Structure 1
Amino acid sequence: MVKALFWNSQGALDPDFNRYLSLFIRQHDPDVVVLMEPRISGRKADRFIRRHRFLHSYRVEASGFSGGIWLFWNDLVSMDVFAVSSQFIHALCTDRNSGVKSLVTCVYASPNRLCRNGMWDMLHALAPSSDLPWVIDGDFNAILDSRDRFGGSSRRTGVCRKFGEFMQQENMTDMGFQGPRFT
């Protein structure tokens, strides 16, 4: 079984973040790590990934100090990246021990609703036509239920209709999360 960590880092240069990530990697030994919104790119990103001792990686660079998606993995899995946008990385993940395959989509959706709208159609086009399992995780910058929202205007629910339609069309299940709400 492949162990994966998906984390919206909101800035990978923070020393506290690096310390917590290193601790988590030591304790849980994930095969795949996905960081969203690292806010760094280029040589700094290369050094960060090398420091955490993952041999393979693929990334969508941050734009200035926003966005970005990093996918890195160890030798126990293979990742064949075959679709990329500024908002996601889509890959076929194979567990080298068992041969089990699954699709993995790592998302950092634009906080801008208009930029994000086209992403749902692109993801729908990537949906598997077979029984291949599909894990899609990340920061969608959208919510499915008004209870997932805190603060802001009381006139707006913040619920993203397109997100809900995507989840329903693709028969997706929200697996929940672990950690504090609204972070």
Structure 2
Amino acid sequence: MNLLNLNCRGLGNPDAVGGLKNLLRREEASVVFLCETKLSSREMQRVWSRFDGYNGVAVDSVGRSGGLAFLWHDNVRCTLRSASVHHMDFDVEMGKIKSRVTGFFRWPSIQDMHLSWDLLRLLASESAGPWLCVGDYNEVLFSSEMKGGESAQWQMNNFRDAVDECGLRDIPSEGYAFTFDNGQSSEDNRQSRINRAMATGD
């Protein structure tokens, strides 16, 4: 099963939709979690209707902020467990492979970050089987996952504590080390690994 997790930062223009369509084809994605679509569920449905062979469920954006979508190919069976503006939780079955997959989208402000970790703990408590949790956590586990800028030690500690309590293990990434770049130049540039995949068990 090939899973694609993408913070797409808006799908409001044809170029973005075309780019996503090409990406799905190139990566042969079986399951796709999109965050920050900035679209209503109805608008998102019109988008994925252009992707041959995909079904989906979407969560409305709040104005033009947020917005989530979970797409899956026809050869995958997905059953929705729960959803909110911060997560989409599914039982996923592809052939003999059965697992639980959650797309996670953090609260954006530091003062609300504890709500993200409370949600992660709640989701972890809802089943004991294999669990894959992917998404945008808006926090790093270690200072080495940032270039430029910094994250307070207590913030990283709180994230690590939640991950440990949930029994999640980070899935090492390959390729470029960072998943976010603020697009600024020289000393104003900030990069970090705030998108990640984690799983329980071996």
Q: Please report the TM-score for the alignment, with normalisation by the length of structure 1.
A: 0.84
Whether the aligned pair in 2 keeps the contact of 1:68 and 1:108 (CA below 8 Å) is no
Structure 2, unpaired ranges of 5+ = 181-202
Task: Indicate the SS of the match to 2:135.
Answer: strand
Whether the aligned pair in 2 keeps the contact of 1:69 and 1:107 (CA below 8 Å) is no
Q: CA deviation digits over 1:129-183, x for unaligned, max 9? A: 53x211000001111111222333x684584322111111223221133554252
Opposite residue 141 of structure 2, the aligned amino acid is L
CA distance in 2, matches of 1:92, 1:42: 20
Opposite residue 112 of structure 1, the aligned amino acid is S
Give the 3 Å change call, closer, same or farther, for CA 23–182 of structure 1 in structure 2: closer
Structure 1, unpaired ranges of 5+ = none
Count of equivalent residues: 178
Whether the aligned pair in 2 keeps the contact of 1:32 and 1:72 (CA below 8 Å) is yes
Q: Please report the TM-score for the alignment, with normalisation by the length of structure 2.
A: 0.77
Opposite residue 58 of structure 2, the aligned amino acid is R
Whether the aligned pair in 2 keeps the contact of 1:148 and 1:182 (CA below 8 Å) is no
CA distance in 2, matches of 1:158, 1:106: 25
Normalized per residue, the structure richer in strand is: 2
Percent of residue pairs bearing the same amino acid type? 26
Task: Indicate the SS of the match to 1:18.
Answer: helix
Pick aligned residue for 1:115 from 94, 112, 116: 112
Matched, 1:94 2:90: no
Task: Indicate the SS of the match to 1:160.
Answer: helix
**How do residues 15-164 of structure 1 correspond to structure 2 at under 5 angstroms?**
15-95=14-94, 97-98=95-96, 100-127=97-124, 129-130=127-128, 132-152=129-149, 156-157=152-153, 159-164=155-160
Offset of residue 18 of structure 1: 2.6
